[in-house]
Structure 1
Amino acid sequence: MEQVRPAQIRNVALLGHPKSGKTTLVEAVLHTAGLVSRAGRVEDGNTVSDYTPEEHEHGYSVTTSVVTLDWDGHRLHLLDTPGFPDFEGEAVSAAAAVEAGVVLVDAVAGIEGGVEAACEHLDRAGVPSRFFVVSRLDREHADFGRVVAALQARFGEHTVPIALPAAGASGLGGVIDLVAVDPAHEDERAHDARDALIEAVAESDDALLERYLEGEEIDTPTLRAALATAVASGAVVPVLPLCATGGIGVRELVDALVAYAPPPTVTEDGPALARVFRTTADPYVGHLSFVKVLGGYVTHGDQLANPERHAEERAAHLFLLRGKEQIEVPALTAGSIGAIPRLAHTHTGDVLAAPGSTPPAIESLPFPVPTYRSALAPHSRDDVDRMSQGLARLLEQDRTLRVERDADTGETVLLSLGDVHAGIAVARLAREFGVSVDVSEPRVPYRETVSTTVQAEHRHKKQTGGRGQFGHVVIRVEPLPRGAGFEFAEEVVGGAVPRQFIPAVQHGIEEALVAGPLARARLVDLRVVLTDGSSHPVDSSEMAFKTAAAMALHEAVLQAHPVLLEPVMRLTVEVPSERLGDLTGEISGRRGQVLGVEPAGAETVVNALAPLAEVQRLAPQVRAIAHGRGRLEVAFDHYAEVPPAVQQQVVAALAPAH
């Protein structure tokens, strides 16, 4: 493919609700452009942009695919993003790499949660230019006018059609271009819609508004130029009809992207500058970094500095992408989207620059925080070492995954955006790194404590011939405030316990703290005071006093009304305001406590506390309540007593494991 100038480039993200037709649209564009002889079908697993085994298995996109094509002297980089909320990070990174977004809206379902989420991604990425495409118009009950009215009600009157569906003999027959429509066109709807379009464009152009108000006819070239300016600033959001499976509206949409979507604002002169917005493992070339060139040129063989990693990389090969097809090129020009293989130190979100240059500060990608918890255990001994290595590689590629090692339970915990996201990560571990793992819900790191002061003693005496064992301790156990931990003190008088054995008593107690009597959980928030005891001049030893101390603590805790403590998490949840009641009900049903509610535009932010046991896998429920738009953050807050009824259930459930 020939090199192009930035003014000829259009970088466009395809966004929308799951199953709204994004991948089908890409197939229709490629077929219309003559790049495939027959459009593939998602159902058949033969599309250009859904090519991974996981996508073939599930029947929907799970990664962002870049499809590059030339059209009418311009180069389009189409980024086909997943609509499923578990892969929101893919949409976030794609939105940060483009200058325009195409948001597909189902002609029957109308505005769904994925449509709202897509607009939020574009807003956060600072991309005002977007197009709404009313898709799947060939289905029963499809209604272009109803969807347009809903879009205008939700997003404003500046959301206007620039094309209308035309009726045919057996349904949808074509598309009427409102920008170039003939004034003599017989469809009265077209005249009214063109007037609405001109009025919307004129609102952002004073000179055009004056001409419009004076009744002057606005010619097509003038309207085209003014519309491009208005779309670039977000003053006008075009709406177009589409039936991708029938090829209707496809050419008109791509023509509109070329005519009205803004080119990248980049500098051709100057040092090379690029950002990695996605990383993947390719079976043939290995590590593959998707880059957007923000300035200058990246040419074959260039050395590039990674200031974040304090490392240098070499661009040994440069590719343009069309799904899994890699088209090698000598250079990536300013504004282009392409890929560089085998970058050893570079991760998603990193910036690459010419050595010696000072790259500008670039805002980090606003990835969502993973909260869905899954415990991973290597399936076999061979998987133990490979698991940590495979997880490290996955985290380099997917910034919406996180791994923690729970010190209390000893489990490796994978945090993801949902159950499907976790399942895909596990599948990739097996496919890309040969690691098999068993997946379960993580154990809750409970702790135990005492609720009253008691005194206990234990006499450890053992005689087996020869020197025996003798240690006798009397201790007092007292509860401490939450979070105080453990304290040890001694009040021994008269040398009842020889001084040299007191450290052994403390060590014995500390070792016994690791497993309480209820759930074998760590004992915390208590003070143990050694008050008395006795010894034997021959048989006493450190080991004997350690054993006596441990047994005394066990007996004391059983008498001190032990209680189970559970981690309580602080929740920050953002949902549409109309879903607030459902959310607060969900939190209350999970033994949660709502602390406060704050309005945030059309959204509401809820701050709450809830036990970890109840919210380890809350994320999918939040998204369901919010129709795909909810955002959840979870952070540890404190430990609190488990209610008695719940404690009985927990202890009974844990008993078989112990």
Structure 2
Amino acid sequence: MYNTRLVNFSLASFRSKFVPNHCRYFVLSFIRGNIFRSFSSLSLERTETSSQERDIHKLRNVGISAHIDSGKTTLTERVLFYSGRIREIHEVKGKDGKGATMDFMELERERGITIQSAATSCFWANHPINIIDTPGHVDFTIEVERALRVLDGAVLVLCAVGGVQSQSLTVSRQMNRYKVPRVAFINKVDRQGANPFRVVQQLRDKLHKWAAPVVIPIGLEDELKGVIDIIQREALYFEGKFGEQVVKKQIPEALVDDVEKHRKNLVEMVAELDEDIADKFLSEQEITEQELKQAIRKLTVNLQFIPVFMGSALKNCGVQPLLDGIVQYLPNPKEKKNTALRLVKKEIDGEVKQVEEPVELNPSPNEKLVSLAFKLEDGRYGQLTYLRVYQGTLKRGDYIVNSRTGKKVKVPRLVRMHADEMEEISEAVAGDICAVFGVECASGDTFTDGKDTFSMESVFIPEPVISLAVKPKTREVSNNFTKALTRFMREDPTFHFYSDPETKQMIISGMGELHLQVYLERMRREYGVECEAGQPQVNFRETVTRRTNFDYLHKKQTGGAGQYGGVIGYIEPSEDPLHNEFVNRVVGNAIPPNLIPAVEAGFREACERGSLTGHRVQGVRMVLEDGKSHSVDSSELAFRIAAIMAFREAFPKAGPAILEPIMNVEVQIPTEFQGAVVGALNRRRGIILSAVDYGELSVIQAEVPLYEMFGYSTELRSMTQGKGEYTMEYKEHRETTQHIQQMLIEKYQKEQAERK
């Protein structure tokens, strides 16, 4: 047993004025690391003294992602405490008024949800770990998207009761998109109705991943006492006020058979994927702990396997084994393949041209600098730009070049983030995640040292699905209103705003009602701007359903040079329902080649506003087959107008239709309310995909038009006595019903008539 008084004395001493601020973290980490992590099989020595001397093989860049309310932020709080990064544990919406470390925004602490991803760093068993805690709500999915873009590994947190939920599927798709290896942590095994082994099966069935537990709980629900490491065959109990003392004991006799069963299943699954383990397994040779761990690591890094940990972050159970798993199984920056595009000169058809060539990056501090700006934030000292350094070294005072703009800028300050706190650093090397001040750029820009032209692939950005008309209540704050909107759009690529030229209203667009409500509240708190918001407007789209020919001649004579341009062809549904396509099939010089781009520009301009409801047109292909031109009067303006008018004439004849956004909706409710909730979804034109009963909990998955989802949260709370919750995610645009289509057309025509 450790001497608690000695520990408290030590901590108090290092909080004193005799220890400088910038040293306290390292000293505290050393004390907690050596006292509280006695069970770890990994070395506890701390040898890092500078970025250059640090071993990149020990570095881990990890994201913590999950469905909303699965316990990500609570888990991150424990990780920071056990690693010595923080001295006290605070809860989400804690009674002490402080809230969790990573939820540093006042709005996050009030609502009890994560809104912005937050970065921090810590040490565990001599391994530096950069952590990004991401939001779980689908409205803030861009925060998860850009975090996973720059991370080498991830922890997928799942609820032992809810299991693999809708946002779990979304997060998994995002991890697949960026090829991010992951471990899973099944949290809340202390909750009533917890069944972690059902969740493991869901990982296999719903995510289509090979997954098996490497840790199992000792007891479930209120009988949770600890966990068992089935690889090392050890029972781990978490003692002390915050579970900081990990005590190893023999496996309880009643669980020995269960442990052997799970260990055998684990070995069999690994043997299915790894030849070396398969050979030993088939020849009935003993597979050592080290061999099994090495095989699991190789399969995890290669995206073939997910090791599963279990516990309860809130009850301080099972977090330290997860930290060991992060170090043991997730890749270092050298094990994650990253590529960039480099401009090189090549001879093509006798001409020397610049082409983009993919280049695999080498995460070495001695290579040419390549870094990606993945997140922007306006702070107290100006724009804060989060960077992931992929190769080379970035130093304070260096000049770096923005590959997109070609501008050279100086790095005045370089910091490492801990939630909203900053630690000054002199340099960041390959594999690091850092932040710089005073560098103007856009999210997704690549920065280099100017010695070569590199460009990294940017982040996937989903389209906004909902809009609001907003205006400040008083004219005096109009400047702050514009500043706030500009800042928010720069920070968040899924937040858009524009001024409607007809209604003169300011329209903001985002991923959902909560997304826009948060920005309106931030505008009030951070800029003192009270806003009036109109009814939420759904982003409908227009399209065509059949092929229609067009033949239009634009001819205008004004005394001098006239306008003359004729276009002939057809419009039809495009193979890509999300985008418009222009095809040039003109043979000869019926239309001069230099004027063809003007026809395309006119077509795309016409698609910006459809004739049925004024919404954007998508999923249309325009094929230009012939035309007419005049040697004097033909111009870009004439052909652009001809294309616009030709499209407007052909569109009403091409079977125009209105598309509405369809949402994937997942509702979690007590089973007793299942019938009422299903009926309510049907009344909202929902299509029920599944309704699964997990004892006291039912999970309903449905597809529902976004237009019908307004006010659903209030209705759900009313139907379920406040016990129900739901999430929704954009799926696709789909043709709406004739009734809704007619209603929207009449509304648009009425608005147009009132404006005349």
With normalisation by structure 1, the TM-score equals 0.70
Residues 104 and 133 of structure 1 are in contact (CA less than 8 Å); yes or no, is this contact kept in structure 2?
yes
Residues 464 and 511 of structure 2 are in contact (CA less than 8 Å); yes or no, is this contact kept in structure 1?
yes
Matched, 1:412 2:472: no
Q: What is the CA distance between 1:384 and its match in structure 2?
A: 2.4
Q: What is the alpha-carbon root mean square deviation over aligned residues?
A: 4.3
Aligned position for 1:630 = 729
Cα deviations by residue, 1:432-457 (Å, 9 ceiling, x for unpaired): 444433221378999xxxxxxxxxxx
Q: What is the CA distance between 1:572 and its match in structure 2?
A: 6.2
Match of 2:139 among 86, 106, 118: 86
Q: What is the CA distance between 1:409 and its match in structure 2?
A: 1.0
Aligned position for 1:358 = 453
1: CA distance, partners of 2:281 / 2:149 = 36
Q: What is the CA distance between 1:281 and its match in structure 2?
A: 1.6
Q: Which amino acid is the alignment partner of residue 315 of structure 1?
A: V
Residues 367 and 400 of structure 1 are in contact (CA less than 8 Å); yes or no, is this contact kept in structure 2?
yes
Matched, 1:296 2:398: no
Q: What is the CA distance between 1:172 and its match in structure 2?
A: 1.4
Match of 1:327 among 419, 423, 427: 423
1: CA distance, partners of 2:686 / 2:202 = 34
Q: What is the CA distance between 1:421 and its match in structure 2?
A: 0.7
Q: What is the CA distance between 1:574 and its match in structure 2?
A: 7.2
**What is the SS of the residue equivalent to 1:413?**
strand
Q: What is the CA distance between 1:258 and its match in structure 2?
A: 0.3
Aligned position for 1:277 = 374
Matched, 1:380 2:474: yes
Matched, 1:41 2:91: yes
Structure 2 vs 1, CA of residues 24 and 442 (structure 1 numbering), >3 Å: closer, same or farther?
Answer: closer
2: CA distance, partners of 1:172 / 1:445 = 48
Match of 1:337 among 413, 430, 433: 433
Residues 666 and 726 of structure 2 are in contact (CA less than 8 Å); yes or no, is this contact kept in structure 1?
no
Task: Map 1:129-144 to 2 at 5 A.
Answer: 129-144=181-196
Q: What is the CA distance between 1:124 and its match in structure 2?
A: 1.5
Aligned position for 1:450 = none
**What is the SS of the residue equivalent to 1:42?**
coil
2: CA distance, partners of 1:225 / 1:275 = 31
Cα deviations by residue, 1:575-596 (Å, 9 ceiling, x for unpaired): 5999xx9999789699xxxxxx
Structure 2 vs 1, CA of residues 100 and 174 (structure 1 numbering), >3 Å: closer, same or farther?
Answer: same
Q: Which amino acid is the alignment partner of residue 31 of structure 1?
A: F
**What is the SS of the residue equivalent to 1:321?**
strand
Residues 66 and 79 of structure 1 are in contact (CA less than 8 Å); yes or no, is this contact kept in structure 2?
yes
Task: Map 1:199-210 to 2 at 5 A.
Answer: 199-210=268-279
Residues 369 and 632 of structure 1 are in contact (CA less than 8 Å); yes or no, is this contact kept in structure 2?
no
Q: Which amino acid is the alignment partner of residue 144 of structure 2?
A: A
Greater RCO (CA < 8 Å, at least 6 residues apart): 1
**What is the SS of the residue equivalent to 2:231?**
coil
1: CA distance, partners of 2:171 / 2:680 = 22
Structure 2 vs 1, CA of residues 167 and 572 (structure 1 numbering), >3 Å: closer, same or farther?
Answer: closer
Structure 2 vs 1, CA of residues 381 and 210 (structure 1 numbering), >3 Å: closer, same or farther?
Answer: same
Q: What is the CA distance between 1:200 and its match in structure 2?
A: 1.8
**What is the SS of the residue equivalent to 1:152?**
helix
Aligned position for 1:562 = none
Aligned position for 2:623 = none
Q: Which amino acid is the alignment partner of residue 146 of structure 1?
A: R
Aligned position for 2:150 = 97
Residues 418 and 617 of structure 1 are in contact (CA less than 8 Å); yes or no, is this contact kept in structure 2?
no
2: CA distance, partners of 1:39 / 1:247 = 10
Residues 6 and 336 of structure 1 are in contact (CA less than 8 Å); yes or no, is this contact kept in structure 2?
no
What is the number of equivalent residue pairs in this alignment?
A: 520
Aligned position for 2:299 = 230
Range with greater deviation from structure 2 (306-315 or 92-101): 306-315
Match of 1:570 among 649, 652, 659: 659
| Structure 1 unaligned blocks of 5 or more | 447-480, 490-520, 523-566, 591-603
1: CA distance, partners of 2:734 / 2:555 = 27
Q: What is the CA distance between 1:389 and its match in structure 2?
A: 3.0
Match of 2:81 among 10, 31, 45: 31
**What is the SS of the residue equivalent to 2:453?**
coil
1: CA distance, partners of 2:160 / 2:391 = 39
Larger Rg: 1
Structure 2 vs 1, CA of residues 633 and 306 (structure 1 numbering), >3 Å: closer, same or farther?
Answer: farther
Residues 70 and 76 of structure 1 are in contact (CA less than 8 Å); yes or no, is this contact kept in structure 2?
yes
Structure 2 vs 1, CA of residues 263 and 105 (structure 1 numbering), >3 Å: closer, same or farther?
Answer: same
Matched, 1:396 2:494: no
2: CA distance, partners of 1:488 / 1:635 = 40
1: CA distance, partners of 2:743 / 2:663 = 32
Structure 2 vs 1, CA of residues 654 and 142 (structure 1 numbering), >3 Å: closer, same or farther?
Answer: farther
2: CA distance, partners of 1:221 / 1:589 = 52
Q: What is the CA distance between 1:388 and its match in structure 2?
A: 2.5
Aligned position for 1:22 = 72
Q: Which amino acid is the alignment partner of residue 353 of structure 1?
A: T
Matched, 1:12 2:59: no
| Structure 2 unaligned blocks of 5 or more | 1-25, 27-48, 236-249, 335-361, 541-548, 558-612, 615-655, 668-677, 688-700, 717-724
Match of 1:438 among 521, 532, 555: 532
Cα deviations by residue, 1:615-647 (Å, 9 ceiling, x for unpaired): 4987999xx9x964632466999xx99748984
Structure 2 vs 1, CA of residues 84 and 487 (structure 1 numbering), >3 Å: closer, same or farther?
Answer: farther
Aligned position for 2:601 = none
Matched, 1:72 2:125: yes
Q: Which amino acid is the alignment partner of residue 468 of structure 2?
A: S
Identical-pair percentage: 23
Aligned position for 2:282 = 213
